[in-house]
Structures are given as structure tokens and as C-alpha cells.
Amino acid sequence: MSTDPRRFQTEEVFLSQIPAVQLLVNLGWQYLSPAEAMAARGSKRANVLLEEVLRAQLKRLNSIQYRGAVHPFTEENIHAAIQRLRAVPNDGLQRTNEAVYNLLTLGISLEQAVDGDTKAFSLGYIDWQRPENNVWHVSPEFAVERTRSFDTVRPDLVLFVNGIPLVTIECKAPSELLEQGISQTIRNQTEDFIPALFHHIQLVLATNRNSARYATVGTAAKFWAAWKEELPSAQEAELRAAISKPLPALVQASLFELVQAHVNEGTAPRAEQTRASYTVQREPTVQDRTLYGLLRPQRLLELTFAYTVFDGGQRKVARYQQVFAVQKVLAAIQSRTNDGAREGGIVWHTQGSGKSLTMVMLARQLALDPAVNRSGEARIVLVTDRTDLDKQLGNTFAACGFIPHRAKTARELLSLVAERKAQLITTLVHKFGRASGIKKFTDDSSEIF
């Protein structure tokens, strides 16, 4: 078998990169050529933000509601918001990425004078609740300047939301090992390569036609995971329509120009032959199903906002079984019995499937879901049967930004529950029996989980 790298590059583009762009564009991502992406970031290869796009979106998404009137943020504040995101202090990959994540999910407060009063007003970078309010871009061969060097590294695809890079994808030929894409992505995050890009990135993927893995920033190779999802008929139809609709002519021309940069006359006929094979309908590949499952706009926002945690400084993104377990629980608790009570249920797990983090993600969703916590009285009690697991859950929640109250004694458990002193409680199952011996207490609220 030939090991000519030019052949691999040609196959990468035609058998992975172009199909990926085709799917993403037809799911709502706008295509940016390398030249257009360079212009949007001020022609600076060290700048990873599409600042023109970001500036326009910050103005569009944000306004100040004050005394019954609507006011725009000043140009100075818009510039300050961009600068905050661009110049996050480099405190190492994980800490800096967490700081950026907090900016993206929580927004920032900026002081501005309105009607003679100077107050702090909130500004957000992304509309997490309404995907259609954001702007989505995909750009191939996104050249980023290496640290302390004029050399560049070019991830195969970078995906932007409101001009902010959130996803990188390494595309491989079917004859190449997927592990090469994983190792490239991990290498690119190191200090000598392009960590500045990964300070903003939320999801990383390595893919070819027959296999795909995903992870997040800082994930070791052994923890990159496959995404498995059985699509309902409507979504299956949407996927098939997206891979059947050809790319616009201008996008095709841009992508095929990239191919010609990798081939010479001897390999160009092969490239043209491969090009022709992707102008007809085809069956969805593993790559197609993975990209659809992870990167359609609403799902990407969900994974980033609701299914990402920082556990002891290590960033983690949910695996498919965690996402669907949480979604099933959230759906189940919306139904009630005739007397207004909620029905319970069981989620079966295997060892090593991530039970603790599933509980963290579920608790966060319960706390944030307005349908669940409409009155602000929802209480979450995590009950386990082992002291070490109780400690682990408490530490996991604390590391993820929650303030759990660990009931170390039966009397403390009774106090926390009966007097409604805490929204999140962790405890051991045998303490319930002891607590009932201290004082008989009943709470029929349907807002206790």
C-alpha cells in the first residue's frame, strides 16, 4: 500500500473534510473560506476570535433595559467585552479554559451611565436558550500561529459561535488511524503549539468516514469516546436530507482549491474521481451520525452549558449515556399522578459509567429548570450507602461549583430537611432510620428530589 502523504491528504479532504462541511452547512453552519476567516480576525494569525462577527453579535444580542427604555451598550463596553475574552490571563490550559467557560456561560457585568445613573449591567456572549439568535460558522484549514513562533498549525475544521471558536475537528482518511487525529489534537493543546485556540474550545473531535471520537480540552487519549444515538424518524430524515443536499458552488470551489494545494498532476485525476463520487446521494456514515449527534446547534449548546463540568480542575464532557439518562429523568418528573405527586424511577448503571457526574449534571439541570424550580423551593437530596461515595459526591459537587451540605449525622440531616436550610444535601441511607428515631417528620412536597 502506498504511504504517499499527498494521497492521504486528498482522501482526508474528499472522504472526510468535505462531507463534514456539507453536513454542517446544511445544518445551519455558514461556511467561511480561509481568506474570509483571516479577514474576520483582523488578518492576525495569532488572533483566534473572529472579532468582526463577535462585535456585531454582542451589539445584536445585548441591550440595557432601564426605567422602561432600551439602551445599547456603548462602543467602549463592547470593546471591553471583546478584550476580556481575548486577553484572559494564561494560567495553564485547564484553568484558562475554565475562566473562558465561565465568561461564556455567565457573561460579564459592565458599568455604564444611563439617564444620569451609573450602574452595572450584564452582557452575554452567547444566547444559550435560543440557538437561532446566534451566528454559526465553519472554516477549514484555520491557520493559528504557534507560541513564540511564526510557524502555524492548521486544524482541519474549526467551528465558531458568534465568532468564538468552540469546536475543532481533525479529519482523517479511512485508511489512516483515528488515533493520529486524537494525538494531533492533544499535541496542539500543548504550550509549544497553539494553546491560545484551545483556551476557547469546548469540544474536540477526530473523525473519518468509519469512526469518530470526541472529548474536551485536556482529555487524555484513553478517555475519548464514541457517540451513540438512535435517532427518531424526523431527525433521521433531517440527517439524510443534510447529506444529500450538495454544497453551494462557491463553497465547493473553495474546498477544491484546498485539495489542489495538496496534490500534483499525478494525483489530481484521483482527486477528481473522488470528487465525483460525492456529488450523489449516499448512506449516512459513522462520521455523519457523530457530527449530527454532537454538532447540530441546539445539541452543541446543551453539551457545553448543561453537560460540562470541571471536576477537581479537570474538564469533563458527558458521554452519551449520561446525557440521555438525565434527559429521561427530566422528562419523567414532568408527569404527575392524580394526587399531584411525581413518580420515581430507576436508572441502571454499569461500573465506571460516570454515576457521580451524572448526578451532578442532573442536579444542576433540576436546579436550573424553571419548570422544576418555579417556586424556588426545589430541594435535592443525594443518598448513598457508603461513606467514601458520600464524600466523593460532596467533593465532586464542590469542584463543579455547587455548595452541597453534607449531613454527617442523623440530627443534622433532620435539621437540613425539616427546616429547609439547604437546596442540595448529601447523606447516607442509614441516617434516615436514625433521624426518624429522633423526631417523626413528614414532608409531602413534590419539590424534593
- Per residue in 324-363, pLDDT tens? 999 999 989 888 888 888 888 889 888 888 888 898 899 8
Q: What is the predicted pLDDT for the residue at 273?
A: 46
Q: What is the predicted pLDDT for the residue at 436?
A: 85
- Residues 6 or more apart whose Cβ sits within 8 Å of residue 215: 182, 203, 204, 205, 223, 224, 225, 317
- For the chain, what percent of residues have pLDDT higher than 90? 60
Compute the distance between CA of residue 208 and CA of residue 48 in angstroms, rounded to an integer. Answer: 25
Q: Sign of the CA dihedral 288, 50, 180, 228? A: negative
Amino acid at residue number 91 = D
Compute the distance between CA of residue 255 and CA of residue 263 in angstroms, rounded to an integer. Answer: 13
Q: Is the pLDDT of residue 427 over 50?
A: yes
- Per residue in 279-331, pLDDT tens? 557 899 999 999 999 999 999 999 999 999 988 889 999 999 999 999 999 98
Q: Sign of the CA dihedral 214, 367, 162, 244? A: positive
Compute the distance between CA of residue 73 and CA of residue 114 in angstroms, rounded to an integer. Answer: 10
Q: What is the predicted pLDDT for the residue at 263?
A: 57
| Listed range (57-61, 203-207, 242-246) with the worst mean pLDDT | 242-246
DSSP conformational letter for 242: H
The CA–CA distances, whole Å, from 259 to 177, 216, 270 equal 21, 29, 11
Measure the CA dihedral 49/53/58/60, to 10°. Answer: -170
Mean pLDDT for 373-392 is 78
pLDDT top residue among 155 and 257? 155
Scored b (16 or more CB within 10 A) or e, 157-179 reads bbbbbbbbbbbbbbbbbeeeebe
Q: What is the predicted pLDDT for the residue at 419?
A: 80
418-424 long-range contacts, CB within 8 A, separation 24+: 418/443, 420/377, 420/379, 422/379, 423/367, 423/378, 423/379, 423/380, 424/363, 424/367, 424/379, 424/380, 424/382, 424/397
The CA–CA distances, whole Å, from 399 to 179, 334, 377, 394 equal 30, 29, 24, 9
Phi and psi, residue 57, nearest 5°? -75, -35
Highest mean pLDDT among 64-68, 256-260, 276-280, 422-426: 64-68
- Per residue in 122-134, pLDDT tens? 999 999 999 999 9
Q: What is the predicted pLDDT for the residue at 25?
A: 96
- For the chain, what percent of residues have pLDDT higher than 70? 93
Q: What is the predicted pLDDT for the residue at 276?
A: 44
| Listed range (56-70, 196-210, 372-386) with the worst mean pLDDT | 372-386
pTM of the model: 0.91
